[in-house]
Amino acid sequence: MEVVSNEINVRTGSESMPSHIARPASGGPYPGLVVVMEAFGLNAHIKSITDRFASEGFVAIAPNLYFRQDNNVVAYNDLPGAFRLMGALKDDQVVADMGAAIDHLKGLKEVKPNFGTTGFCMGGRVAFLTACRDARVKATAPFYGGGMVSSRQPGVKAPIDYVSGLKAPVLAFFGGKDAFIPIAEVDKFRDALKAAGREAEIVLYGDADHGF
């Protein structure tokens, strides 16, 4: 399916958030999807994934959640830079920015009133957190999102602590050899969703490492 993509600015509060948006070149309306970047920022790889989702029949938007920070895209071998950027994010602000991306999709005539979230690494956590805190999200598919059931920052709730607000089915993907997300944590995530009575499928690729 032919795709049209471009760079836009999305209004979030009083600020403008750079974002990459892609859609099928014709037809519609299509479901809307927010694609959440990895810890390394809104780079060419995430933009290409966003375009791939559009080629499958979504209007997909990838917001730059680091836009308030300088030097907000780092190389894949720059873990200190990624941790610096990721560590500056605040969940309440992230959820508001994600809501702004959904608002933008909602205002497009090419988009159905059906919204999903997906994301990778840090973005997997954000995709699930947003689904728990924004009832407009009707499906979420996080990839190897860490910190789902146990907070990694003092005083910050884990996404699963908001599970009572989750209205979306969950399809989550993890790697069995992922040192960042032990299998015990994946099991806790699965068990917590089951205990909450939420519809969820957890896919574990036994031989996959983080970022597969």
Ranges of beta strands (E only) in 25-136 are 30-36, 59-63, 111-120
- What are the pLDDT tens digits along the chain (212 aa)? 899 999 999 999 999 999 999 999 999 999 999 999 999 999 999 999 999 999 999 999 999 999 999 999 999 999 999 999 999 999 999 999 999 999 999 999 999 999 999 999 999 999 999 999 999 999 999 999 999 998 877 788 999 999 999 999 999 999 999 999 999 999 999 999 999 999 999 999 999 998 89
Of these residues, 20, 91, 97, 121, which one is catalytic? 121
Ranges of beta strands (E only) in the chain are 3-12, 15-24, 30-36, 59-63, 111-120, 137-143, 170-175, 200-205
Query: Which residues make Cβ contacts (< 8 Å) with residue 172, sequence separation at least 6?
Result: 124, 128, 141, 142, 143, 145, 189, 200, 201, 202, 203
91 in catalytic set: no
121 in catalytic set: yes
pLDDT score at 154: 79
Q: What is the value of pTM for the model shown?
A: 0.96
132 in catalytic set: no
